[in-house]
Homo-oligomer: A and B are copies of this chain.
Amino acid sequence: MKILNKDQILALYNPAKAAAMIKQGFIAYSEGHVQLPPVQHFLFKEAHGDCCVKSGYLEGDELFVVKVASGFYRNAKQGLANNQGLMMAFSALTGEPAALLLDEGWLTGLRTALAGALAAAALAPQKIDAIGIVGTGMQARLQLEALQTVTPCRTVWVWGHTQDALDQFEHEFAAKGYRIHGTLDAEPLARACQLIVTCTPSTQPILQSEWIQPGTHINAVGADDEGKQELATELVARADLVTVDAVSQCAAYGEVSRAVKAGLLAKELLVELGQIFAGKHPGRQNQSQITITDLTGLAIQDVQIAKSILV
């Protein structure tokens, strides 16, 4: 059994290869060629933590993958990363353990960012004057970095809860050649940006419908569980096209689930990214449509990024 630590994994990580494989994974998922059993959830109330086990198998592969990913929100206080996790690959021919990827949650972060970049590449408008990043955490950074291959735009509005967090974000990305506008008010961000990524654990809508300009594409990344919400329900209902990683998950507990449950958005209108990537749905039809992609996270992304490291 091969055992790789985080540094070894990151040394083998090839974003372009991983993105191409994740794209194929979304297509295979939407075509029904992926076994994705139900996600297992744990809640550790006293330790203020949670954990999910996501497993997947792309039929025909020689490997299947089991991922254990957790968030323990007091870890940082004791010098540990809040997000912990590992992935394991097993032979789909014999069941033998093939590899243990001690990635400390990095592959989950990276595959989530790559899905955002793939959605943006397929659905964002042609002209992007400014990118909006809602959130200042690790996933906000990874999403912005992953968009480098999607658009040459380096003008970025960032929304955060505190000026300190915004200053830190600006400091980091200014050093990489970005022009960063930090803001504690999401409205100017929403009005200025044509490509917006929301990646917060918010339970209240941050982006209001009336702020969003025609032609905007929004990747909604943060709301991956019941109770979380980043976009006003009216904004989801108003969008010209709502795409999702998985209809089943997004209609149940994703960002778009409120609009679906309120009867403001027919579940049948949700389009899976796999259909877009396979060319079975045209995606954005003109430069004035508002498009939204709801990403709840699929184990096939874990499968594909693990394979991109191993195979």
* B-binding residues in A (CB < 8 A): 1, 3, 35, 37-44, 47, 49, 51, 53, 55, 57, 64, 66, 68, 70-72, 75, 78, 80, 83-86, 88, 90, 92-97, 100, 102
Further contacts, 13 of them, CB under 8 A, given A38-B40, A44-B92:
A37-B39, A37-B40, A47-B93, A47-B94, A49-B93, A51-B64, A53-B53, A66-B66, A68-B88, A75-B95, A80-B94, A84-B94, A88-B88
* A102/B49 contact (C-beta < 8 A), A37-B40, A42-B57, A84-B95 known: no
Residues of B within 8 A of A42 (CB): 35, 37, 55, 57, 64
C-alpha gap A31/B97 in the complex (Å): 34
C-alpha gap A95/B81 in the complex (Å): 10
Picked from B40, B49, B51, B84, the residue with its CB within 8 Å of the CB of A40 is B40
C-alpha gap A68/B54 in the complex (Å): 12
Residues of B within 8 A of A39 (CB): 37
Residues of B within 8 A of A68 (CB): 66, 88, 90, 97
C-alpha gap A66/B88 in the complex (Å): 11
Residues of B within 8 A of A47 (CB): 92-94
Residues of B within 8 A of A75 (CB): 94-95
Residues of B within 8 A of A71 (CB): 95
Q: Are A43 and B35 in contact (CB under 8 A)?
A: yes
Which residue on B lies nearest to A44, using beta carbons? B92
Q: Are A102 and B97 in contact (CB under 8 A)?
A: yes
Q: Are A86 and B94 in contact (CB under 8 A)?
A: no
Residues of B within 8 A of A1 (CB): 102
Residues of B within 8 A of A90 (CB): 51, 68, 70, 84
Residues of B within 8 A of A83 (CB): 95
Q: Are A95 and B51 in contact (CB under 8 A)?
A: yes
Residues of B within 8 A of A57 (CB): 42, 44
C-alpha gap A83/B97 in the complex (Å): 12
Residues of B within 8 A of A92 (CB): 44, 47, 49
Which residue on B lies nearest to A86, using beta carbons? B97
Residues of B within 8 A of A43 (CB): 35
User: Min CB distance, A245 to chain B, in Å?
Assistant: 19
User: Min CB distance, A311 to chain B, in Å?
Assistant: 17
Picked from B72, B85, B86, the residue with its CB within 8 Å of the CB of A93 is B72
Which residue on B lies nearest to A71, using beta carbons? B95
Which residue on B lies nearest to A70, using beta carbons? B95
Q: Are B66 and A94 in contact (CB under 8 A)?
A: no
